[in-house]
């Protein structure tokens, strides 16, 4: 039932993923991966994907698609649209030291946030790595706005404490210090 409901909006899902910045083929792959993952974890997620009225929870599907796309596009996972990257780089002069320093800081932030457990890691990523506001997250989940605020405040303090000095080095262009 769940997959059939999702499949009714298949082209909408593909269009949504394309708007996140990839071509049609990659968007199709991401949507297919969505179907596979939701089918694999059907018992755990069906109530989140299909609400009590029998309608698809588009917010949940959007977040899942966005996260799957990030997994696909993640360089660590071995996927890079080389042609797009080459054309983009040809137009811009690149400071490789700055890029490497930025990637290192992002890797440390990701590593730190992943060490917090799935709930805290997802909440951190949902807020800091997307355009969602705290209110958007609260409206799309069963988490209270105050709870989200308090958690995000503590996440920021942890990140600043552990990575703030390296970030200051990055801002000061002291890339070798990172």
Q: Are 137 and 148 in contact (CB under 8 A)?
A: yes
Q: Are residues 9 and 73 in the same domain?
A: yes
Domain boundary among 77, 107, 128: 77
CB 143 within 8 A of CB 132: no
CA distances from 84 to 71, 91, 93, 96, 139 (A): 18, 11, 15, 18, 36
Give pLDDT, residue 74.
Answer: 65
Tell me whether residue 55 is in a domain: yes
Q: Determine the pLDDT at residue 83.
A: 47
Residue 126 lies in a domain: yes
Domain span holding position 46? 2-77
Buried b (16+ CB within 10 A) or exposed e, 85-103: eeeeeeeeeeeeeeeebee
Biggest CA-to-CA distance, the chain: 56
Task: Report if residue 86 sits inside a domain.
Answer: no
Asked if residue 80 has pLDDT above 80, the reply is no
Question: DSSP strand E in 50-166: where?
Answer: none
How much of the chain, in percent, has pLDDT values that exceed 70?
88
- Integer Rg of the chain from CA: 19
What's the pLDDT score for residue 58?
Answer: 84
User: What's the whole-number mean pLDDT along residues 106-133?
Assistant: 88
State how many domains the chain has. 2
Of the given ranges (49-58, 142-151, 158-167), which has the lowest mean pLDDT? 49-58
- The CA angle 74-172-93, to the nearest 5 degrees, is 55
26 and 57 share a domain?
yes
Mapped to the 3 state alphabet, what secondary structure does 102-121 carry? HHHHHHHHHHHHHCCCHHHH
In the predicted structure, residue 19 carries a pLDDT above the cut 70: yes
**Cα–Cα dist 81/60, whole Å:** 27
Question: Could you tell me if residue 88 is inside a domain?
Answer: no
Sequence-distant (≥ 6) Cβ neighbours of residue 93 within 8 angstroms: none
pLDDT at residue 76 above 50?
no
In this model, does residue 14 exceed pLDDT 50? yes
Residue 130 pLDDT: 80
Q: Tell me: pLDDT of 127 over 50.
A: yes
Q: What is the mean pLDDT of the chain?
A: 82
46 in any annotated domain: yes
């Amino acid at each position: 039932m769940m997959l059939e409901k999702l499949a009714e909006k298949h082209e909408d899902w593909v269009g949504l993923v394309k708007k996140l910045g990839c071509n049609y083929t990659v968007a199709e792959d991401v949507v297919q991966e969505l179907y596979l993952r939701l089918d694999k974890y059907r018992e755990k997620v069906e109530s989140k994907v299909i609400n009590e009225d029998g309608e698809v929870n588009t917010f949940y599907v959007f977040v899942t698609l966005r996260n799957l796309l990030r997994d696909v596009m993640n360089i660590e996972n071995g996927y890079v649209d080389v042609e797009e990257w080459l054309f983009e780089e040809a137009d811009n002069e690149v400071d490789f030291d700055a890029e490497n320093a930025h990637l290192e800081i992002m890797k440390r932030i990701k590593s730190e946030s992943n060490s917090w457990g799935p709930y805290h890691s997802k909440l951190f990523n949902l807020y800091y790595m997307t355009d969602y506001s705290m209110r958007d997250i609260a409206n799309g989940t069963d988490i209270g706005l105050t709870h989200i605020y308090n958690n995000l405040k503590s996440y920021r303090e942890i990140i600043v404490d552990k990575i703030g000095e390296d970030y200051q080095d990055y801002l000061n262009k002291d890339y070798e210090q990172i």
